Amino acid sequence: MMTKIAFIGLGNMGGPMAQNLVKAGYDVCGFDLVPEALDQLEQAGGSKAESVAEAVQGASAVISMLPAGKQVESLYLGDGGLFKTVGSHCLVIDCSTIEADVARKVGQQAEEQGIDFIDAPVSGGTAGAEAGTLTFMVGGRAETVEQARPYLEVMGQNIFHAGGAGAGQLAKICNNMLLAILMTGTSEALKLGIDNGLDPAVLSEIMNNSSGGNWVLEKYNPVPGVMPQAPASHGYRGGFMVGLMAKDLGLAMNTAAGSNTATPMASLAENLYKIHSIHSDSTLDFSSIIQLYDSVR
Amino acid sequence: MMTKIAFIGLGNMGGPMAQNLVKAGYDVCGFDLVPEALDQLEQAGGSKAESVAEAVQGASAVISMLPAGKQVESLYLGDGGLFKTVGSHCLVIDCSTIEADVARKVGQQAEEQGIDFIDAPVSGGTAGAEAGTLTFMVGGRAETVEQARPYLEVMGQNIFHAGGAGAGQLAKICNNMLLAILMTGTSEALKLGIDNGLDPAVLSEIMNNSSGGNWVLEKYNPVPGVMPQAPASHGYRGGFMVGLMAKDLGLAMNTAAGSNTATPMASLAENLYKIHSIHSDSTLDFSSIIQLYDSVR
Amino acid sequence: MMTKIAFIGLGNMGGPMAQNLVKAGYDVCGFDLVPEALDQLEQAGGSKAESVAEAVQGASAVISMLPAGKQVESLYLGDGGLFKTVGSHCLVIDCSTIEADVARKVGQQAEEQGIDFIDAPVSGGTAGAEAGTLTFMVGGRAETVEQARPYLEVMGQNIFHAGGAGAGQLAKICNNMLLAILMTGTSEALKLGIDNGLDPAVLSEIMNNSSGGNWVLEKYNPVPGVMPQAPASHGYRGGFMVGLMAKDLGLAMNTAAGSNTATPMASLAENLYKIHSIHSDSTLDFSSIIQLYDSVR
Amino acid sequence: MMTKIAFIGLGNMGGPMAQNLVKAGYDVCGFDLVPEALDQLEQAGGSKAESVAEAVQGASAVISMLPAGKQVESLYLGDGGLFKTVGSHCLVIDCSTIEADVARKVGQQAEEQGIDFIDAPVSGGTAGAEAGTLTFMVGGRAETVEQARPYLEVMGQNIFHAGGAGAGQLAKICNNMLLAILMTGTSEALKLGIDNGLDPAVLSEIMNNSSGGNWVLEKYNPVPGVMPQAPASHGYRGGFMVGLMAKDLGLAMNTAAGSNTATPMASLAENLYKIHSIHSDSTLDFSSIIQLYDSVR
């Protein structure tokens, strides 16, 4: 008999993640408020539930992928929450990107009720979700991470154990905050070169092989035409939307406020993204921030 | 008979670069205002000149490594400048880090007098100069770059042709501006993680293998103890001094003013380095900027 | 018979405010967790209560001055909250500086229970509290503001009606955010002049009579010696502490996050204050930020 | 016989300034490269010269109002410069806004040749030039300032003696740098209030009477409709153009680089103005920066 997994939240990320679990031979029972999302899972070989309760019935693992902390709290905590109904044998993996505080609170309540819980936000976007090449940043006990590894390896390529409860969220927040700085900073350096007559492709290659080297230059050049496969070369479509980067930067600013950490560069990057979304389309890829520096839109 | 090279400027960088040319079999005749620098070259097998004029006598190539644009102008241009005395058969390579404007002006005057000139600033620090592993960012004609390549390959590992006259300086300015952003940004991300309980080594590894990956995380971690060989693990001694980064950021700001390029992130990084030098020791390595975010100095 | 006022929170601000009400002939019954604060009120002619419930017994008005939103919520809301015990005849004035969201929530609950409530945070510091010259920024219905005016006029000089529930908090947050920008900006302009040989007193006078004129130049010059009565001329002691400005900037950042408003200058000012408190003493007056720009501390 | 004044540079500022001198009874002989500018002065009762040399012939004072330091240097210095031709009895007043360095250099050369020179940049815009209500910020010897006062009082209302040679330029640079910070900061504070439901006119009045008070709130509100006479209420037309503020901020950044002064807030304001001009019309009034924070343009 197949191991049953309940998958809550079948959106752009959750949908393909659940389907990868189906392909790997698991009995995946999904729940989502959008009927089409449920139908897609069914067509891919999974089953659909009419309620969360039905989905988790008899499941060995619950995986959730929800938009924000509020939904995660409401799914697991409180009188009607899953932590009251799933047994202590059940493994719970939350892949949503949410406040570390909320993740810690959920983790603590899980612990009190003897439930194995990890926070496991991902990076890699919808493309990574479909290809099963996501990166997981995981917070929780080491044993629980090992227990979850077989499932995570089906959906992703890299699994990093960042520390205790909430550490997965923290690592992702730190990483994406740094990514915003890399993108704005790389855009400025490239624009300075272009404005002074350098070829952006040549400058990109030089910097990427020097001390300016970074992920953006390697995989995600913001200048149209430098990398054929990058969103910049496709009208900044696809990729990681400005609105989502703005959400992650909001989480970072919130975290910095909580720990009283000075983050002048990150705060500026956050504000530049805010200004960019005011005057642009927040569904564009986040590398479109280079347009803020450029008169040609 | 050995090819003679005149080497002007035998400081912390120029000294070891000249010695590498000696080791490769060239007849290197040096000039510097500091007698000890001349003695060191002589001990290493080179010869010393009493004047610039004597140094360049019969040389096939002139290489200069000077502190600032002013000295470069004064060496090559004007009535007493080298461009009046070296013949058109002579190859001139300026390795100083200076304003692109000045490099372009020097390049243009060289061209007018039929002299082959390239601007070829380096990155890699004194360690790279000693090991012969510098990176050269070169501006000038493609033929001249090829002509210079044999000399450059003795002193460095990577030779990038960035474009026409001044392009070497521009590429270096853009790169180092980006490097300052990488360092301040990475420091903020690490500090945010540390303040929220993450282990900096674990967080560094996660981010370096994710979209936050960059040269600083790979080679130059600013948190003491994470990388045994990094300056951070040796009291921020050695490496690339705060004062030199400040100089390069000044060149970047000047270039951005000239081309009217918006560089909010770089301008902030420049000001953070200024504030850091006000309250700290500007001979520390530039990764010490993380102390600006930290109450423990 | 004298009108009874319950005053909750008798700290550095609340204490003298309550005493001014006593002087104006009101029967002020105070409550605070610190016994000394209660004794001081009694010595000034007020009376002390053993509990909040006792304080509000028969009071025509309740005035509160508490450190943060959490305490305000806990005082008024919930099962044990005052809104369950005070009658609808009672006027409630909260003078604490808290999140506008919390003020709105408290205001709404007051409204639902027929209680007249205003949020009325102050500016003017402890000196203004003692002298009865505070500025009140008030949110609530116009009738309630008129009803509260006689009490407010005893404690302050200017009473501004900013709008509906929460508007008092918002006005104060906007004002203090702008103040932080004025202080950092004025410090930079003065430092730039000083570093280039200008006399700070002369430059201050020129700018204050030109388009650079602002409250900081008029009342609160950050350069020691320019204004004998300013905190800068007394070792940055007294005045408005760095730690309190940091708290208000935190509220501003939080409000901007909620309304998705871009505030690059304010975010930078907030981070400069954070960096300043990391390396300095957060009980200094907030004009000490000029030390961040200065090598002489 | 009337006192003759030579006026060099009859643009938007210089033109009306020269005409005010005519009205006050001086014999003003003007020079400008634009024939229409000369004609206007003639119609207003002045006379026109065919060359600078002709203009200064027999003049008791030379006043210049030129676009940049380059033109000022070229007018006064060098072999063909005025300092070779005007006698030592002649008073020279430069009203251009230029680098303090250049002003100091010109001042020094004047001193060496026994010529009385002051740098006297103005604020107040074309309206102030026409109404004769300019503010002069003056650098030079006290005696020379007194000697120049009768002329300055015809053209302006406030005359501030900032210090020795170049001090007038420095004071203006510091003031306008601060003004840019006041404008961006006030825009952010107003936008934060508006986004949270406050009436901008009410909030403006509250802040202007509190510690947020500044020249922008008093005279130059950036929100359309709050002040009928402000450029914001007339499509941001008239007033002080974004392009000119950008020029002055460039001078400030240059001065800060020279004295190694940290100006994080001013550098950010400068970059925000750069971004604003990239996406907007640089002939708009500088209060249009509030549009950078706003989705409604």
pLDDT of res. B52? 95
Q: Which residues of C touch D185 (CB under 8 A)?
A: 178, 181-182, 185, 265-266
CA of C122: how far to CAs of C113, C148, C290, in Å?
Answer: 26, 14, 25
Q: Which residues of C touch B279 (CB under 8 A)?
A: 279, 295
For β-strands B27-31 and B47-48, DSSP reports them as parallel
pLDDT of res. D1? 64
Give me the active site residues of A, please: 172
Distance from CA of C108 to the nearest CA of A (A): 23
Question: Does residue D295 have a pLDDT over 80?
Answer: no
Whether D270 sits inside 8 A of B267 (CB atoms) is yes
pLDDT of res. C1? 63
Nearest alpha-carbon partner for D246 in D272, D216, D222, D280? D272
For residues C158, C161, C167 and C172, what is the CA-based torsion angle, rounded to 10 degrees? Answer: -20
Question: Does residue C296 have a pLDDT over 70?
Answer: no
pLDDT in tens, D13-51: 999 999 999 999 999 999 999 999 999 999 999 999 999
pLDDT in tens, A126-146: 889 999 999 999 999 999 999
Residue B178 contacts A where some CB pair is shorter than 8 Å: yes
Distance from CA of B44 to the nearest CA of A (A): 30
Q: Which residues of C touch B264 (CB under 8 A)?
A: 264
Q: Buried b / exposed e across B270-280, counting CB within 10 Å, b at 16+?
A: bbbbbbbbbbb
Q: Specify whether the CB–CB gap between A203 and B171 falls below 8 A.
A: yes
pLDDT in tens, B179-234: 999 999 999 999 999 999 999 999 999 999 999 999 999 999 999 999 999 999 99
Q: Which of C270, C279, C280, C296 to mutate to test the interface with B (most CBs of B within 10 A)?
A: C279
Residue B248 contacts D where some CB pair is shorter than 8 Å: no
Percent of chain D with pLDDT over 70: 99
pLDDT of res. B124? 87
CA–CA dist D28, D45 (Å, integer): 8
CA–CA dist A162, A173 (Å, integer): 12
Residue A287 contacts B where some CB pair is shorter than 8 Å: no
CA–CA dist A73, A53 (Å, integer): 16
Question: Does residue C48 have a pLDDT over 60?
Answer: yes
Higher pLDDT, A2 or D271: D271
DSSP C71-82: HHHHHHSSTTSG
pLDDT of res. B200? 98
CA–CA dist B237, C171 (Å, integer): 49
Q: Which residue of C has its CA nearest to B289?
A: C275
Residues of chain D numbered 115-154 and touching chain A (CB < 8 Å)? none
CA–CA dist C76, C55 (Å, integer): 14
Q: Which of D278, D292, D294, D297 to mutate to test the interface with A (most CBs of A within 10 A)?
A: D278
DSSP B116-168: EEEE--EESHHHHHHHT-EEEEEES-HHHHHHHHHHHHHHEEEEEEEESTTHH
Q: Specify whether the CB–CB gap between C169 and C111 falls below 8 A.
A: no
Confidence of residue D297 (pLDDT cuts 50, 70, 90): very low
Question: Does residue A241 have a pLDDT over 80?
Answer: yes
pLDDT of res. A209? 94
Q: Which residues of B touch A211 (CB under 8 A)?
A: 123, 175-176, 179, 182, 215, 219-220
Confidence of residue A289 (pLDDT cuts 50, 70, 90): very high
The mean pLDDT of C263-291, rounded to a whole number, is: 95
pLDDT in tens, D177-207: 999 999 999 999 999 999 999 999 999 999 9
Distance from CA of C294 to the nearest CA of B (A): 7
Nearest alpha-carbon partner for B72 in B148, B129, B8, B29? B8
Q: Which residues contact D130 (CB under 8 A, 6 or more apart)?
A: D16
Q: Which residues contact B65 (CB under 8 A, 6 or more apart)?
A: B7, B8, B9, B10, B11, B13, B14, B17, B95, B96
Residue C274 contacts D where some CB pair is shorter than 8 Å: no
Q: Which residues contact C74 (CB under 8 A, 6 or more apart)?
A: C81
pLDDT of res. D272? 98
Coil/strand/helix, residue C52 = helix
Distance from CA of A292 to the nearest CA of D (A): 7
Q: Specify whether the CB–CB gap between D166 and D104 falls below 8 A.
A: yes
Nearest alpha-carbon partner for C37 in C54, C67, C12, C57? C12
Q: Specify whether the CB–CB gap between C123 and C158 falls below 8 A.
A: no
Q: Which is catalytic among the residues B48, B84, B105, B172?
A: B172
pLDDT in tens, B62-114: 999 999 999 999 999 988 899 998 888 899 999 999 999 999 999 999 999 99
The mean pLDDT of D53-78, rounded to a whole number, is: 95
Q: Which residues of C touch B297 (CB under 8 A)?
A: 279
Percent of chain A with pLDDT over 70: 99
pLDDT of res. A79? 86
Residue C34 contacts B where some CB pair is shorter than 8 Å: no
Specify the range with the lowest mean pLDDT, choosing from A36-45, A81-90, B26-35, B47-56.
A81-90
Q: Which residues of B touch C268 (CB under 8 A)?
A: 268
What is the overall mean pLDDT for chain C? 95
Whether D271 sits inside 8 A of B263 (CB atoms) is yes
Confidence of residue A1 (pLDDT cuts 50, 70, 90): low
Q: Which residues contact C135 (CB under 8 A, 6 or more apart)?
A: C122, C123, C124, C128, C156, C157, C158, C159, C160, D209, D210
pLDDT of res. A297? 44
Question: Does residue A56 have a pLDDT over 50?
Answer: yes
What is the overall mean pLDDT for chain B? 95
ipTM of the assembly?
Answer: 0.94
pLDDT of res. A7? 98
Cβ count near C2 (within 10 Å):
9
Q: Where are the alpha helices (DSSP H) in A260-293?
A: 264-279
The mean pLDDT of A38-48, rounded to a whole number, is: 96
pLDDT in tens, D129-165: 999 999 999 999 999 999 999 999 999 999 999 999 9
The mean pLDDT of C158-176, rounded to a whole number, is: 97
Query: Which amino acid, residue A89?
Result: H
CA–CA dist B33, D64 (Å, integer): 46
Question: Does residue B297 have a pLDDT over 70?
Answer: no
Specify the range with the lowest mean pLDDT, choosing from B48-52, B148-152, D124-128.
D124-128
Cβ count near B178 (within 10 Å):
33
For β-strands C122-123 and C134-139, DSSP reports them as antiparallel
Strand partners, B163: B139
A&C contacts, CB < 8 Å:
37
CA–CA dist C202, C210 (Å, integer): 12
Q: Specify whether the CB–CB gap between B124 and B152 falls below 8 A.
A: no
Confidence of residue C287 (pLDDT cuts 50, 70, 90): very high
pLDDT of res. C294? 87
Confidence of residue C78 (pLDDT cuts 50, 70, 90): confident
Q: Specify whether the CB–CB gap between D118 and D150 falls below 8 A.
A: no
Distance of CA C65 to the CA centre of its chain: 9
Residue B253 contacts D where some CB pair is shorter than 8 Å: yes
